[in-house]
């Protein structure tokens, strides 16, 4: 992703709290539950939609970046700007 002329959002980078699905832990043990992660245990008719969805927090950051972007200058405006 590349963004310019925007306010710099505060993003969380690096390790985060480990999330292990309790049912996966019960069925498969710690090592496999850790490897497969939370999303492997999502089921039901909406599982593809849920797995492919952008997390709400990230969506909000992307929207904030877009809202803070300065309008692009056209070539004519740039030529006439001192």
pLDDT over 90 (residue 75): no
Q: Would you state the pLDDT for residue 78?
A: 57
61 falls in which pLDDT band (50, 70, 90)? Answer: confident
Boundaries of domain holding 41? 22-66
**Inside any domain, residue 53:** yes
Q: Are 73 and 81 in contact (CB under 8 A)?
A: yes
* Two structure tokens written together for 26: 């019960």
Cut 0.75: pTM above it: no
Question: Is residue 26, in this structure, part of any structural domain at all?
Answer: yes
Q: Quote the pLDDT of residue 31.
A: 92
Q: How many domains does the chain have?
A: 1
> What is the rounded CA–CA span in Å between residue 45 and residue 21?
19
Residue 48 banded pLDDT, cuts 50, 70, 90: confident
Answer yes or no: is 43 within a domain: yes
């Amino acid at each position: 992703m590349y963004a310019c002329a925007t306010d710099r959002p505060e993003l969380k980078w690096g390790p985060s709290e480990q999330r292990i699905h309790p049912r996966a832990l019960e069925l498969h043990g710690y090592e496999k539950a850790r490897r497969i992660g939370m999303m492997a245990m999502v089921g039901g008719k909406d599982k593809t939609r849920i797995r492919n969805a952008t997390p709400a927090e990230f969506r909000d950051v992307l929207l904030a970046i877009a809202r803070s972007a300065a309008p692009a200058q056209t070539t004519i405006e740039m030529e006439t700007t001192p």
